[in-house]
């Protein structure tokens, strides 16, 4: 049994055939986090409320990156995306920025990679904008937390 669907029976990479799959509504939510030092945390907090809008820039980076997922991930199908939204939580206790991305499509393949790609672009953009202060930031805990649609159906992290 071949569970790695991105390879054919000879172990060669393919973009898998989804031509016989029905069009179904699909959603995905991914999350991730960047740990920063206190000076950066303060700058992000301040920037968000007043000026130097780091998170606003990162949000757009995430939305635009989701649209480029199939250019970055070699075996991803190009798909129509019907929604992308990005959320943030500033967590002072852990000195980190939490982000999540929600994506939707109606299609023959899932929309998980678009949500995950949006999250990484958001976090890399925060890194880029803050690295003049300090390089020790760490991007972590990127994972899928929810999906619906497709043959494998609904998934919620913690279900298993």
Binding residues: 75-77, 113-114
38-49 and 54-66 are packed helices; what angle lies between their axes, rounded to 10 degrees?
90
> Residue 7 carries which DSSP code?
B
Among 29, 36, 54, 97, binds its own copies (CB under 8 A): 54
Q: Which of 22, 93, 135, 153 binds its own copies (CB under 8 A)?
A: 135
Q: Counting Cβ atoms within 10 Å, is residue 17 exposed (0-12), middle (13-18) or buried (19+)?
A: exposed
Of the pair 46, 92, the CB lying nearest its own copies is at 46
Is 77 among the residues that bind its own copies (CB under 8 A)?
A: yes
Of the residues 8, 17, 128, 134, only one is catalytic, namely 128
Residues 38, 75, 89, 90: which binds its own copies (CB under 8 A)? Answer: 75
Q: Is the dihedral of CA 92, 94, 97, 98 positive or negative?
A: negative
């Amino acid at each position: 049994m071949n569970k790695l669907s991105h390879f054919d029976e000879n172990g060669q990479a393919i973009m898998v055939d989804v031509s016989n799959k029905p069009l179904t509504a699909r959603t995905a939510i991914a999350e991730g986090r960047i740990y920063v030092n206190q000076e950066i945390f303060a700058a992000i907090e301040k920037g968000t409320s007043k000026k130097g809008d780091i998170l606003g820039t990162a949000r757009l980076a995430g939305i635009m990156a989701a649209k480029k997922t199939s250019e970055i991930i070699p075996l991803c199908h190009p798909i129509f995306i019907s929604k992308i939204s990005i959320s943030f939580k500033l967590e002072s206790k852990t000195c980190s920025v939490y982000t999540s991305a929600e994506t939707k499509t109606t299609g023959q393949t899932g929309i998980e990679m678009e949500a995950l790609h949006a999250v990484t672009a958001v976090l890399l953009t925060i890194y880029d904008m803050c690295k003049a202060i300090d390089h020790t930031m760490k991007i972590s805990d990127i994972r899928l937390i929810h999906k619906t649609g497709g043959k494998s159906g609904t998934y919620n992290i913690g279900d298993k």
